[in-house]
Structure 1
């Protein structure tokens, strides 16, 4: 078990944000489905991205790390065989590759670790039942076997479930030998992630008609083209430093695209409502706040940035409500509970509800306690940002989970002036 003792210190300087994990998943998949050789530049080989790379290799793509870029040769779809895909703990890998595997192969087995087996897949099971695709799975662990072929047609999907299901279908259906339609039956959440999907697919030559996010018309027999592609910076990671600025640090953030389709760009709008002003100097974004104020934050469209926004809310005047956040309970951990428990240890005033958090602002965090990452990368990084406004040092257990999305987070944290001691227990 890795342990860090973090000392209160403001962060100062410039940091280059890792590439968007969300876009990288999609780019690797689109390139792997292409008909030639693509180069994908600006890739951060986090655990989740490695899972998708290995998954597409299992399906037949040839992917080589050339240092500055990935070279990807598309899958030979004429070769069909059963595949084993290890998703590790990546929900994106699992939900994107399930329909792809049965669009291009006759069968696949999916395995993984952590809480991944507890994430619901009922949306796909309903499709399997309707199309006569056989499957079996284990309870509370990921061990899913599928046998069959995805067929074109009409797919009705609820909009208030994970957008990963819709993305998986969008990526897969153009490969089939007939036309399809996806009908969204309820109000759509996480629209920004679908914008990323559609935009990336368009770059790789796939055309999909979007009828106001209520239905998607997908022509069959389309071909992904092979291109050179650069992945933009990740707003969900940039949010940690933007929130650090909100609570007193002075960090300039590089590689965030101002007109990005990323849903987590909403962090800018939320922090602006809370009193932050932003400056964008030729691609360097920084912000400051004279006084932070409370607001209402809707977690349905940007769940990944809710943990670190809870830090800002805890240090803002008044009562902040984080609503529509029930999906945070089925991430790498129960993030609503983890945020409430761990920030409360630091001195925050947080009330946990069924699908929301009620946060009454305090002037500062106390610190002087031991906290736990819950083996969740976003909780570990959230607690690190909180440490910059503590009166006393804090100890974070199980910090290595940052490898899931941002392996060099604590290298960057230290480079910006963060101070900590590290040790390992049981080694």
Structure 2
């Protein structure tokens, strides 16, 4: 089955869902704290459920309610032998590995989809250096680890994934030894590192950040329990902000304009393209009379690239999005998929190894496209329908459950018109 979306203008108000990135971090920090914390404004996406399950596997007591969690980390690390299912969550996998090795442990990590194809060599190199035993299968997540990680000197690249650095930053303060992390290549996704450091500080952990080139971590620290409300997600807000740029009238509620989230840059990018961002007492909206081509450095904001590419597809001139090779190791090869979808909908895009070029057109045609089992591709395609002449047919639309389970309900509340149909 698939869904067929009838092209319609979107109009109305949407409450932006909570940040998945911040929810991951808050759940982990609260779980590592001695005492009780309450995390409010929780949405139970598949990725967040993966992190909740992972911390429970290590012994944390987590009580789930409709939109909040009560977390008691007092018993964390009582279990030193367990299986952790990360499903398709790269954040869960890379955050949890160092955390689960704070004590001597015998672990089995499993997962689904393309998660087993994502790079892990950064951790394997650390295992080799520290004498930690590990065994894995190629291209699937079936990883066995035995041992304990120790503090000390670490050298890791900054251009593979910031999740490796965040994972170490969560775990190393709990080690007996002081630690130092040296970043051996330019740091990408600095915004995500900022979110980690911000959350650690909130829970009583102090890290020295020397211009993202070196991090100094004092050992023997202790997390302090506290309550936290998860702020709205700019990665998800980006879809509605671009919708506004495409002449839809969408009012966004609950945005924190002072957020540390790197994807907040979507506002500045759209303004550079000729759009206007308006803040009111009722919410925020993006509007535009005419958009113009832009050059985007995607290294710091990979998650908003598909929907920004959509904005470029209907802008005047030729846009270029650079430094995006990391998109190839997401839920799908997101660089290739984005170019394919724009072309299938009637746009003009070219794929390069580390970039894409997009020649703007007046409008898109529509047609049958794949979600590639990628939540961000499916949501981009839904927003694209508002500037298409013909229906847009999307397969596997439920992949949005990974990060935004209520997306289709919100899309419908804005006037989105779709129905199920049979493939072929």
User: TM-score with structure 1 length normalisation?
Assistant: 0.97
1:349-381 C-alpha deviation (Å, 9 max, x unpaired): 0001111111000000011x2111011000000
Residue 390 (structure 1) aligns with: 388
Cα deviation per residue 1:216-270 (whole Å; 9 max; x = unaligned)? 1111111111111100000000000000011110101111100100010011111
Does structure 1 retain, via aligned residues, the 8 Å contact 2:43–2:67?
no
Further displaced range: 22-31 or 279-288: 279-288
Residue matched to 2:416: 418
C-alpha change, 1:102 and 1:262, in structure 2 (3 Å) is: same
| Residue equivalent to 1:120 | 119
Counterpart position of 1:379? 377
Question: What is the alpha-carbon distance in structure 2 between the residues aligned to residue 80 and residue 275 of structure 1?
Answer: 55
1:89 and 2:88 equivalent?
Answer: yes
- Is 1:5 paired with 2:4? yes
Matched, 1:72 2:77: no
Is 1:130–2:129 an aligned residue pair?
yes
Q: How does 1:187-206 map to 2 (within 5 A)?
A: 187-206=186-205
Report the Cα distance in structure 2 between the residues aligned to 1:373 and 1:233, rounded to whole angstroms. Answer: 24
Distance 2:223 2:240 in 1: 36
Give the whole-Å Cα distance in 1 for the aligned partners of 2:104 and 2:365.
Answer: 55
Instruction: Say whether the 8 Å CA contact 1:106–1:147 is kept in structure 2.
Output: yes
- What does 1:164-243 align with in structure 2 at a 5 Å threshold? 164-243=163-242
Mean Cα displacement is larger for which, 308-317 or 212-221? 212-221
Is contact 1:113–1:142 with CA below 8 Å preserved after alignment? Answer: yes
Which whole-Å deviations, capped at 9, do the CAs of 1:169-208 have from their partners, x for residues lacking one?
A: 0000001011101111111110000000000111111111
Alignment of 1:331-350 (within 5 A): 331-350=330-349
Contact 2:60 2:76 in 1 (8 A): no
- Name the residue aligned to 1:271: 270
The equivalent of 2:32 in structure 1 is 33
Q: Secondary structure at the match of 2:365?
A: coil
- 1:255 is matched with 254
For 1:107 and 1:301, the matched residues in 2 are separated by: 35
CA distance in 1, matches of 2:172, 2:260: 22
SS in 2 for 1:300: helix
Change (3 A) 1:334 1:78: closer
Cα RMSD over matched residues?
1.2
Deviation at 1:320, TM superposition (A): 0.3
Separation in 2, partners of 1:395, 1:187:
40
Asked if 1:24 is matched to 2:35, the reply is no
Counterpart CA distance in 1 for 2:48 and 2:86 is: 10
Q: TM-score, normalised by structure 2?
A: 0.98
Query: The residue matched to 1:378 in structure 2 has which SS?
Result: helix
Tell me how far 1:282 sits from its aligned partner.
Answer: 3.2
Return the offset for 1:67: 2.2
Q: Indicate the SS of the match to 1:401.
A: helix
Question: Residues of 1 paired with 2:6 and 2:166: CA distance?
Answer: 41
Q: Partner of 1:356 in structure 2?
A: 355
Q: Does the Cα contact within 8 Å between 2:395 and 2:423 map onto a contact in 1?
A: no
Structure 1 counterpart SS, 2:287: strand
- Provide the secondary structure at the position in 2 that maps to 1:406: coil
Determine helix, strand or coil for the equivalent of 2:219: coil
Q: Distance in 2 between matches of 1:133 and 1:348?
A: 50
Number of equivalent positions? 424
Contact 2:24 2:51 in 1 (8 A): yes
Per-residue deviation, 1:104? 3.4
Whether the aligned pair in 1 keeps the contact of 2:180 and 2:214 (CA below 8 Å) is yes
Shift of the 183–283 alpha-carbon distance from structure 1 to 2, 3 Å rule, reads farther
Partner of 1:324: 323
Give the conservation status (yes or no) of the 8 Å contact 1:300–1:325.
yes
